[in-house]
Structure 1
Amino acid sequence: MPFAPFVGVNHHDQSILLGCGLLSSEDTNVFVWLFQTWLRCMSNRPPKGIVTDQCRAMQNAIEFVFPNASHRWCLWHIMKKIPEKLQGYGQYKQIKHVMKTVVYESTNVDEFFSSWENFITAYDLSNNVWLTTLFEERQHWVPCFLKNFFWTGMSTTQRSESMNAFFDGYINSMTTLQQFVHQYDNALQKKAQLECQADFASLNTVIPCTSQSSIERQFQMEYTYAKFNEVQVEFRLKMNCVAHNVLAEGQSCRFDVVEEPFCNE
């Protein structure tokens, strides 16, 4: 039976289990049942964001059960299909490069629309069904359409796949239903133990600040060990940024910030 785990992220950036289901099939009705049952277990508190692959049956069920949730497709799975879908074109290497540039470097919706239109026109791709379908569903996978939602750093289903690998040490295709329940409980205990260990380390370890910034010190006091490490990386990267072209507009100001690349001579 297909094993469907619900995977989330905790305050230590660890993958956590929020439940699971064993499915008889993978159609819309089954997913509706799965999501509704899981929602009851979550005290009817729906998720704000969901990351899945491009399963149409799952998408239909999400729209029905979680109509207000932001639904994101795994970007890695989409971009992995570029060779399969576009390799037959004579200018494949250029097409691949330009498409990645349009997807990853468009900073806003208008820029994406303009760049995508130029991309399709330049390489005569208007009849490509795959690209046409992707454009119609752009709000589910293009980063600039999703950046205003909170995703705990996720843009792929990698955590779910990692969780499947984690369970390989507990269950296999020969595991009976009774054994599964017992082993699933063992897996939950292991995850809880890892979180407790991270809680202890975070409460008893102080990472020194790397600057005199009051903002960094506030993060140091409030954030866990793992998340403060991420903040410090951003603070170090900030030192490479140069702000210029300051434009005052009433009570607000706009800064153009450029990152200076590091060059090895």
Structure 2
Amino acid sequence: MCERAEFLRTLDDLLQPERFKDYGPNGLQVEGRAQVAKVVSGVTASRALIEAAIAARADTIFVHHGLFWRGQDGCVTGWMKQRLALLLAHDINLFAYHLPLDAHPTFGNNAQLGLQLGLVAQSYFGEQELGCLGQRADGRSFESPQDLAAHIQRALGRSVALAGDQNKTIRKIAWCSGGAQSYFEAAIAAGADAFITGEISEPQAHYARECGVVYLACGHHASERYGAPAVAAHVAAQLGLAHEFIDIDNPA
């Protein structure tokens, strides 16, 4: 057990949110009990995750996607009221870290996605250098984009949308978890043969065909399942807390 303030301090020291220009607040988003004993980690602070944390008798939730984002109207109605009501009624702390959780070089979403896929980052690219550029840890190439897509599908358990040249060897691989479509042009400029992220929008298919760089979308949720439990497990072990990862499946 530790004080909530110590838990927050440990997270901030690890993830360094002050380094990032983000889309919402990082850190403690909803205040619950002053002492932390059991942490539930998950991808998104959905009602299903909050209900699962209550059932698990957790006093703290740690997520990548919190409740508050730039551009919201600020009204506590509908789904927002329902989620907040559950957190407040059960006195549960909600901690959320967005870009800092993507970026951590060991426990972050991009590092952990690379680990799942057997990729090693050699450099970084894109806005705030969130994108990773590297190759397979074993130094081998993928003989075709279809081989890489099949490899991703086996590792993540999700089908992969593939766009671009279907007949090229893949050696230099760029990746950025979640909805990182806007990083594709930077990946092309960085010299990638292929770019892996969670989502694809209409323009990226054309860029892939015209620029000769393969684009692979493996699911926003599927690409971001790994950072939150890695961070939470590390901090929980450091502070002597119980930790449980609860994966609320999402087809997106």
Tell me, yes or no, whether TM beats 0.5: no
Q: In proportion to residue count, which structure has more helix?
A: 1
Q: What TM-score comes out, normalization by structure 2 length?
A: 0.27
Bigger Cα Rg: 1
Which one has the bigger strand percentage? 2
What TM-score comes out, normalization by structure 1 length? 0.26
